Amino acid sequence: MKAVVIGATGHTGTYLVPRLVRQGFDVVAVSRGLSQPYTHVGEWNEVERVVLDRTEEEKAGTFGKKIAAMNADVVVDLISYSVESTKSTVAALKNTNLSHYLFASSIWEHGANTTVPMDEDMPRHPICNYGKDKLASVNFLHEQFVKEGFPYTSVMPGHITGPGWTCINPTGNFDPEIFGKIGRGEKIYIPHFGMECVHHVHADDVAQVFHRAIIRRTEALDQDFLAVAPHAMTLRGFAEAMYSWFGREANIEYLPWEEWKKTAAAESYINSTYSHLAHSDNYSCEKARRMLGYAPRYSIMQAVTECVSSMIARGVIDVK
């Protein structure tokens, strides 16, 4: 069988592509350039690499046609960020050999958490454009399944984490220096009382959900699955655990929002923190466990410390 992975060298594709090769698929890895995956294993030597700039190809109306021409049994779409993009890809894939289209959505389909942990059956009221676009795509896919039997599955990852990039820190943004300060035992500032949640997930566990959905296609069709670590963490708990991991005493000050903003290193970090506080992500992966056999390998701290270790090794942060 043939599988096409769109966005193959990104976070999830780095781990999904080797899984599919080991499963016996002929894999076509589609990416914007010839960038390398975050971690390289031998299975990548057996993969066909195809360069397609989705943005430019969609402007020309050729992206979906080129994917369809690959005549794959399975298409995993990790980088569709608008409902228009999803619609054009789906239209092109009809009347091909496709047996399964897997769509990467986001936990932010759900909007602000109310009852926790949230699960797939709870109403969705996204509060940001990213979440709204993802939900619109999923609603369209469900409509296509009901009307025409289009064979889709949606996966909603949490905050994807792992070696090779910067993950969300205990202040709710991507400033790597927060981890540096924790490692050196310096004070960090957290907004409010640090009780809002974040819900990381290791990229390999996200890949596992996609992989398990492919294996259990019948159960997975017209379904969506949260791909998260077993438990969320509060910002307070996350910060304290990171200080402990570095062998440091917790050195945290909690500030009202307007005061905390003055401590942020950049406006983008303020915006990121606000988004994560507003969502306060806390989700259940029980449906994926029950229906797909998902067995997450990583807790949040295991995923984050692997990421932070990589940041130290690459010189992204200095903890001395």
Q: State the Cα–Cα distance between residues 54 and 152, nearest whole angstrom.
A: 20
Looking at residue 230, its amino acid is: P
Q: State the Cα–Cα distance between residues 196 and 266, nearest whole angstrom.
A: 21
Confirm if 88 and 66 have CB atoms less than 8 A apart. Answer: no
Looking at residues 50-55, what average pLDDT do you find? 96
Counting beta carbons within 10 angstroms of the beta carbon of residue 10, is it exposed (0 to 12), middle (13 to 18) or buried (19 or more)? buried
For tokens 């091909």, the residue is 96
pLDDT band of 35, cuts 50, 70, 90: confident
Q: What local confidence, expressed as pLDDT, does residue 33 receive?
A: 83
Confirm if 122 and 110 have CB atoms less than 8 A apart. Answer: yes
Give the tokens for residue 64. 């979906």
Nearest to 191 by CA among 281, 301, 275: 275
* pLDDT value at 36 more than 90: no
234 DSSP β-pair partners:
197
User: Per residue in 201-223, pLDDT tens?
Assistant: 999 999 999 999 999 999 999 99
Q: State the Cα–Cα distance between residues 136 and 269, nearest whole angstrom.
A: 27
Q: What local confidence, expressed as pLDDT, does residue 290 receive?
A: 98
Query: What does pTM read for this prediction?
Result: 0.97
Q: What local confidence, expressed as pLDDT, does residue 40 receive?
A: 81
Nearest to 166 by CA among 10, 308, 56: 308
Q: Is 318 helix (H, G, I), strand (E, B) or coil?
A: coil
User: Per residue in 214-258, pLDDT tens?
Assistant: 999 999 999 999 999 999 999 999 999 999 999 999 999 999 999
Nearest to 5 by CA among 49, 55, 64: 49
User: Per residue in 283-293, pLDDT tens?
Assistant: 999 999 999 99
Task: Kindly give, in sequence order, each residue whose CB lies less than 8 Å from that of residue 172, ignoring residues fewer than 6 positions away.
Answer: 191, 196, 198, 235, 272, 273, 275, 276, 277
Looking at residues 6-22, what average pLDDT do you find? 97
Going from the C-alpha of 174 to that of each of 104, 161, 171, 177, 207, the distances in angstroms are: 21, 11, 9, 9, 22
User: Per residue in 62-71, pLDDT tens?
Assistant: 999 999 999 9
